[in-house]
Amino acid sequence: MTQQNGMQGMKPGHLPRESRSFGKGRVCVEPGCEKVLSQYNRLNKCWAHADMKIPRLRGRKPAQEAL
């Protein structure tokens, strides 16, 4: 027997009302930042100022240091 993994066509977050959006023309609330937010961005900050913390490279890359 073969079971299909996922791919059932149900997209999470699919809202019944397509007119329901976060608004267009919003800008980042960060002072000095005029980054226009995407209507799909539920945050009020741009991706750069959002809570997303970009992992900084700690030390050096372990692989392919020397060819």
Beta carbon of residue 54, minimum distance to Zn ion (angstroms, whole number) = 14
Asked if 55 and 37 count as a contact pair (C-beta separation under 8 A), the reply is: no
Asked if 48 and 36 count as a contact pair (C-beta separation under 8 A), the reply is: no
Beta carbon of residue 35, minimum distance to Zn ion (angstroms, whole number) = 4
* C-beta closer to Zn ion: residue 26 or 35: 35
Residues that bind Zn ion (CB under 5 A): 28, 30, 33, 35, 46, 49
* C-beta closer to Zn ion: residue 21 or 48: 48
Angle at 64 between CA 59 and CA 67, to 5 degrees: 130
